[in-house]
Amino acid sequence: MATVRILALADAPPHRPVADLVAEHRPALVVLLGDLQPAWVADVATLDVPRIGVHGNHDAPGLLGRLGAEDVHLRAVDVGGVRFAGLAGAPAYSRGASAFEWTPAQAQALVARLPAADVLVTHTPPLGVDDEPDDPVHRGFAALGPWVERHRPRWLLHGHTQPDPRRRVARIGATRVVHVRGDAIVEL
């Protein structure tokens, strides 16, 4: 796998405007992991850098398209010799308020369609990975753990949770796990 520098964004405003982060770090790719308010990432649409992503449970349908980002939910794309696949959404907890909330059965059916990849980009991690144990809303998908164990992506990038630093998960077997809140530069 070739080395690819990415700028990942999720769940909170980046610490600087996205265009400034891109100018400083020169990523080969911007990866959107969901729950990004349009005001935080409006300049993403103006970037001359490839953009991919998945929707979070608080995103409006079509947000990725408005930002010029390719939606990789249940799809795989190659960027710089690296294969990325994605899973949008979060476990269902509200009554129809989000187009991107899945029941356990729905998540299982979606994960069954998820293609193998070098990098999994997902809004929500697997159950037990960076969960917030006292918050039933910010837990992972049970169906995703077996997928990671079977397909062994080199990287898993996610948002959604706010893990206790003492319980953060850095790896699932050979898969390196990166939690993103705000922005992160990642060398894949």
pLDDT at 109: 97
End-to-end CA distance of the chain: 9
Q: Can you tell me the mean pLDDT for 161-185?
A: 91
Give per-residue pLDDT as tens, 36-95: 999 999 999 999 999 999 999 999 999 999 999 999 999 999 998 999 999 999 998 876
Task: Note the pLDDT of residue 164.
Answer: 78
Q: Identify the pLDDT of residue 47.
A: 96
Give the per-residue pLDDT at 95.
Answer: 67
Q: Evaluate the CA torsion angle 103, 106, 176, 38 in order and state its sign.
A: negative
Q: Show the tokens assigned to 124.
A: 């929500």
CATH of the domain at 29: 3.60.21.10
Total domains present in the chain:
1
Closest CA to 150 of 122, 168, 123, 175: 175
> 48 CB contacts (<8 Å, ≥6 apart)?
none
Q: Which domain holds residue 67?
A: 5-187
SS3 64: helix
Concatenating the DSSP letter of every residue in 109-128 gives HHHHTPPP-SEEEESS-BTT
Q: What is the largest CA-CA distance in the chain?
A: 43
pLDDT band at 132 (very low <50, low <70, confident <90, very high): confident
